[in-house]
Structure 1
Amino acid sequence: MVKAILFDLDGTLLDRDSSVKNFIHCQYDRLNRVVGHILRENYVGRFLELDQRGYVWKDQVYQQMVKEFGITEISWEELLQDYIDEFKNHCVPFPNLIRVLEELKSRNLLLGMITNGRGQFQMDNIKALGIERYFDSILISEWEGIKKPDHEIFKRALERLKVSVSQSVFVGDHPENDVKAARNLGMKGIWKKDSQWNGVEADYIVNDLAEIPLLI
């Protein structure tokens, strides 16, 4: 019997691709005085390339951009701080997010979250989505000192929820860090489909969060 549903954040609950595009366009406009000598499409496109869908921290991204584009009136540290301060204002949820969380909670299911990333940055994004109150436990890799796909962070989440692996389901978009890691531990793994990957092994595959309550 399923007692707990655990989720990844980026690419699963947070539409990170849309969020980061919103942010970088707005950063270009907001800081146009110091980056306006760069064509918008070049500034935005290079950021997205270097970002590698969030797997490269932005200190490296902005250092490279400052160097490549000859940005002299603002430092990479200031650009990074702008990202940290402003990204939360551009968070885009996937469709049906709140409705699905409310439905799962109405069934008295425990909800957990395990996300890789910087602690306060990720928590700010969770709060920006308005979903913190739905979760009984939230684990962020920086604060835990371990990250997915390490089994220990999954075990820690289950311990805090006081459930066993057989009573738990994990939902994520990354085939290795989320689905495979959870399944290797003995949890059921639901893959939130991402066009970047094909042939992912999972117990279930969903295109939309609204499909999850139907599976539980």
Structure 2
Amino acid sequence: MMSQRKYDVVLFDLYGTLVDCHVDESSDDAWTALRNALYREGANYVTNDRLREQFEKAANRELGLCGGQDDLREPDLLGAYEELFSDLWIQAGKDLSGKMAWAFRKAALRKLALYPGALDMLRTLKGQGMRIILLSNAQSCYTRPELEALGLDDIFDDVILSSDEGVRMPSPSIFQCALRAANVPADRVLMVGNDERCDVLGAKAAGIDAVYLDTRGEWIDSHGNVTDVEHITKGDVDDRPAPEAVKSFRGADYRGLLDFILENGTSAVTQQI
């Protein structure tokens, strides 16, 4: 018997959709942590400035390897960390390079936390027989350790990250990767994200419906100003973010999202305001 639900597979963005994450990669603490980690492995960079310079060169080389300066190309920065060793004539494999990447990322993190209810929502979908796939513009060397730290490392049926694919959303090719992983037609797949260009318009171009979670407070008031979503009223709204989404929610409204997916997935396009 065919499922009565509209969607069989849900694609989730990570940062800003399931996870509240703030990173300061310009922090001296982060570069010092990386420099110290490298030093312990025999790679001595005298100053943070010298280390940054070498890392930027290595990252640019990785960008070139994945196809150039197109803003939809995504280098794998693990190669840049490996080059920090090879530039000093030290051989380092992926495990050691990944250790360096995580040392930097941990020191650069200012906040990393699941939005309340995110894990319960994912478990509910799984319990209802739905497949869930992570699709995110992210570096594998940072994100996979973070998934483990957040308790998300075994919840997804598949994980598709831009650094692994060499291209980022909204490129059609990464959505095609997701559709191959989903193994169902595009109209049976739903994308959930918090970025209009990448998550909503990218999905739409691939024939995939998208739900928008306004976790950044982008509803617009009648004067064209970004409005605090805690204080906006329906009468104040004359525009909203991501009008191409099949449904939008203020904030990480997982209860509303679950109701839409499990109960109202076959309904006409609506917008919660």
Q: Same fold (TM over 0.5)?
A: yes
How far apart, CA to CA, are the structure 1 residues paired with 2:109 and 2:15?
A: 13
Q: In the alignment, is the contact (CA less than 8 A) between 1:165 and 1:187 conserved in 2? A: yes
Q: 1:10 aligns with which of 15, 19, 29?
A: 15
Say whether 1:165 aligns with 2:186.
Answer: yes
For the residues of structure 2 that align with 1:177 and 1:88, how far apart are their CA atoms?
Answer: 23
Relative to structure 1, the CA distance from residue 62 to residue 197 in structure 2 (aligned partners, 3 Å threshold; closer, same or farther) is: same
Q: How does 1:57-206 map to 2 (within 5 A)?
A: 58=25, 61-62=26-27, 75-76=48-49, 77=51, 82-86=103-107, 90-198=111-219, 199-200=240-241, 201=243, 202-206=245-249
RMSD after superposition: 2.7
How many residues were matched structurally? 169
Displacement after TM superposition at 1:164 (Å): 1.4
Alpha-carbon offset, residue 98 of structure 1: 1.1
User: Which has the higher Rg, Structure 1 or Structure 2?
Assistant: 2
TM-score in terms of structure 1 length: 0.69
Q: Which amino acid is 1:130 matched to?
A: G
Of 205, 209, 212, the residue aligned with 2:254 is 209
Stretches of structure 1 that go unaligned for 5 or more consecutive residues are 21-46, 48-57, 67-72
Give the counterpart letter for 2:210 in structure 1: G
4+ residue runs over 6 A deviation:
none
Whole-Å separation in 2 of the counterparts to 1:151 and 1:197: 25
User: Whose relative contact order is higher, 1 or 2, with alpha carbons under 8 Å and at least 6 apart?
Assistant: 1
The alignment partner of 2:135 has SS state of strand
| Structure number having the greater helix percentage | 1
TM, length-normalised to structure 2: 0.56
Structure 2 regions of 5+ residues with no counterpart? 1-5, 32-45, 53-99, 220-239, 262-273
Identity, % of aligned pairs?
22
**Offset, 1:186:** 1.4
